[in-house]
Homo-oligomer: A and B are copies of this chain.
Amino acid sequence: MNEWHIAEGFRFAGVVIGLRSEPDRRDLAVIASDRPATAAGVFTQNRVCAAPVQLSRERLPRSDARAIVICSGNANACTGEQGLTDARRMAELVAADVGCSAEQVLVASTGVIGRPLPMAILEAGIPKATAVLQPGAAAFNDAAHAILTTDTRIKVSTRTLDSYSITGFAKGAAMIGPNMATMLGFLFTDAAVDADDLHAILRRCTADTFNCISVEGHTSTNDTVLILANGAGPKLAGAALDRFERSIHAVCEELARAIAEDAEGAQHLITIDVEGCRTDAEARTIAKAIAESALVKTAVFGADPNWGRVVSAAGYCGVDFDERDLSLWMGSFLLYERGAPLPFDAKLASAYLRDNRNVGFRVKLELGSGRCRFYTCDLTTEYVNLNADYTT
């Protein structure tokens, strides 16, 4: 906690209001900016999107955002018109306490789909959060905890550059499919960045970070990544803006990787590197198919070097290639070279999977310079047990 760099001018709160069945779990976070902040967001591409996603999407980008409110335990998704009314009310309650208009407040939610928000709990609970808004690491830590669902730990990434800081936190442990899934991410900076620049930077930085992780490929209704920049100083431009973008990218990458690492029941973080494709997009399609194959993921869980599952997953993803152009490494083991299987020590290969928490596959084609790095996790019996009994 001492090492976190907390952007100036933001206050945080994370409190227990009773949305969750565990009585002591923090379940509501509020983040307020002392001054109007430029703000941008990227959201789920699911056609069925939650009320808070609809609300926040229509309010962004903007130059005068003042707060974000996030509830955990109820997604406010598939809740019809009532869901939109309830999300708007959450923003109004925060606005009244922070002293701004409701439109300056953004909303995010995560949890069970299809249940109306228990508004009595939120009416009573939101003022509890706004009453304890504080700057600094302790309050930030509370907020980072309050957005978790089945996560086993908070995900935080921060940086300090010349004259400003970037402070990010995220949650997500399942329903994680590319194009995000119940994955929430929030970034704050006291740098001054134009709203349009902020939006463009956030889109670019999420494309190969939050959009290149998968737990089970189920894109959520609630994915949201928001960024607020409240700097009062001169706007970043030129080389300073480029440097800002690289740092935002690093924060997004660190948070995305932390989500894949903490996936429900996961025992391995699996890094899929695909290179030598015609385009980056084709490389991503191949990497995504491998990352989402239940057979690849169970093989890693079982420390079974059943590499044919990796090659065959590449083969069914729709990218055109000849298997004689494909080579595959698992860690440092070259298993398949330009369409021909190589002898390998199955015991050593199995030990590689068993003894390393982070394992990697590398697929190389001979078609160009397109590449992608994708993160996923293994599929374990614990994942199945966790998800067999989530709502009931």
Contact = CB atoms under 8 A, between A and B. Distances in A.
A339 B78 CA distance: 6
Interface residues of A, number: 74
Interface in A280-328: 292-295, 298-299, 301-309, 311-316, 319-323, 326
Contacts of A340: 79-82
Interface stretch (A2-10, A96-104, A113-121, A269-277): A113-121
Interface string A172-198: 001101010000000000000000000
A115 B303 CA distance: 18
B309 A113 contact: yes
Nearest to A219: B316
Contacts of A369: none
Interface in A206-225: 216-221
With most chain B CB atoms within 10 A of its CB, the pick from A75, A302, A305, A322 is: A302
B392 A308 contact: no
A299 B387 CA distance: 6
Interface string A227-268: 000000000000000000000000000000000000000000
Nearest to A175: B295
Interface in A47-69: 47-49
B301 A388 contact: yes
A112 B47 contact: no
A341 interface: yes
B392 A302 contact: yes
With most chain B CB atoms within 10 A of its CB, the pick from A179, A216, A335, A341 is: A341
Contacts of A113: 306-309, 311-312
A384 B392 contact: no
A336 interface: yes
A389 interface: yes
A306 B47 contact: no
A350 interface: yes
Contacts of A174: 295
28 contacts: A46-B315, A46-B316, A47-B321, A47-B322, A48-B326, A78-B339, A79-B340, A79-B341, A81-B340, A112-B306, A113-B309, A113-B311, A114-B307, A114-B311, A175-B309, A175-B312, A216-B293, A217-B293, A219-B312, A294-B379, A294-B387, A295-B387, A299-B390, A304-B391, A304-B392, A306-B390, A306-B391, A381-B385
Interface of A: 44-49, 75, 77-82, 112-116, 174-175, 177, 179, 216-221, 292-295, 298-299, 301-309, 311-316, 319-323, 326, 335-336, 339-341, 346, 350, 379-381, 383-385, 387-392
